[in-house]
Amino acid sequence: MSELFPGFIAQTVPTEDGIHIQTRVGGDGPPLLLLHGHPQTHALWHKVTPTLARHFTVVLADLRGYGDSSKPTGLPDHENYSKRVMARDMLRVMQALGHSRFRVMAHDRGARVAHRLAADHGDAVERLVLLDIAPTLAMYEQTSEAFARAYWHWFFLIQPAPLPERFLLADPDAYVREVMGRRNAGLAPFDPRALAEYIRCARLPETAHGVCEDYRASAGIDLVHDREDRDRGHRLAMPLLALWGEQGVVQRCFDPLAEWQRVAQQVQGHALPCGHYIAEEAPDELLAAALPFLLKDAA
């Protein structure tokens, strides 16, 4: 996959309890962490990293449970796949790479990890860009029939093990192609090399369990943590830019800007002319919106 990220160096970073996070680092400047979503890996950023690397030291990371990162067996309460633990992975990655403070841009599941990273470690996160999500708690509490039909995998993947794992393992290629290809743009936006990487990682024996545990945690322990934040009035303090696809489910079923304004103090955002996979469907539009925000006050 190195051809997607020329000049970037791949390295595996240990975090805790034997967990290793796969990373790829390149560029020069203040540190910027990029986190991917489901069912993808850090390969999704390949269209925007050439520009970002001219301004930032870019750190790409595979989430716990995804890509070539560790995929531990889930605990009974799924705590080891909570966004709190996954966020701590990323904090330790950045610290291991010498970055005590950094900026974050994240998509989908990675954006949920980034939300918790900013909530739990606000002193480390300087600026935050979140792509095509509303807060997890808001999305579960406002679930409608339209949302449940569109995001059916949210409710399938949380079923007790090993049922959903068996389905994913039966045909991982079809799972990736169907989940991604059924969105508004189909498979056309995806570079064949990136798509092949998503499929390669989906075939890894432990990936199905890691993916399911991520979703099980979001439907359980993550909601506990989010409600605790809400009950004590905790709101993110750093500047936050929310971007979403005007042709996507988040736009159709929620008011993402209003929802982020409920959990953060400094929020701006708008829709982009694309669907869910913003960095691959509309890379130029993403850069035009996110780069000035990320560069503001950069040392």
∠60-100-231 over CA atoms, to 5°? 90
Per-residue HEC secondary structure of 94-128 comes to: HHHCCCCCEEEEEECHHHHHHHHHHHHCCCCEEEE
- Report DSSP state, residue 77: T
| Residues annotated as part of the active site | 108, 276
Structure confidence at residue 2 as a pLDDT band (50, 70, 90): confident
Do 82 and 221 contact (CB within 8 A), yes or no? yes
C-alpha 280/C-alpha 134 separation (Å) is 20
* Cα gap 153→84, rounded to integer Å: 22
243: helix, coil or strand?
A: strand
CA–CA distance, 41 with 197 (Å, rounded to integer): 8
pLDDT of residue 51: 98
Reported as a pLDDT band with limits 50, 70 and 90, residue 98 is very high
| Distance, C-alpha 46 to centroid of its chain | 15
- Give the mean pLDDT of the chain: 97
Q: What is the reported pLDDT for 16?
A: 84
Q: How far apart are CA 180 and CA 196, in angstroms?
A: 13
Average pLDDT for residues 174-197, to the nearest whole number? 96
* Each residue's pLDDT tens digit, 188-204: 999 999 999 999 999 99
> What pLDDT does 17 receive?
85
Give the per-residue pLDDT at 142. Answer: 98
Residues 258-278: tens digit of each pLDDT: 999 999 999 999 999 999 999
Average pLDDT for 6-23: 95
Please name the residue that has the structure tokens 């990655």: 93
Task: Render pLDDT for 112-162 as a digit per residue (tens, 0 to 9).
Answer: 999 999 999 999 999 999 999 999 999 999 999 999 999 999 999 999 999
> Among positive and negative, which fits the CA dihedral 223, 228, 232, 237?
negative
Q: Is the pLDDT of residue 214 over 80?
A: yes
Would you state the pLDDT for residue 82?
98
**How many CB atoms are closer than 10 A to CB 29?**
15
Measured between its terminal Cα atoms, the distance across the chain in Å is 31
Residue 1 above 80 pLDDT?
Answer: no
- Is the pLDDT score of 239 beyond 90? yes
Number of domains the chain contains: 1
Return the CATH number at 120: 3.40.50.1820
Contacts of 136-145 with CB under 8 Å at 24 or more apart are: 136/83, 136/112, 136/218, 136/222, 136/223, 136/226, 137/223, 137/226, 137/227, 137/230, 138/254, 138/259, 138/262, 139/254, 140/219, 140/223, 142/253, 142/254, 144/253
Query: The domain containing residue 139 runs over which residues?
Result: 2-295
Reported as half-sphere exposure (CB side, CA atoms, 13 A), residue 79 has a value of 3
Q: Sort residue 41 into left (φ over 0), alpha (ψ -120 to 50) or beta.
A: beta
Q: How confident is the model at residue 211 (pLDDT cuts 50, 70, 90)?
A: very high
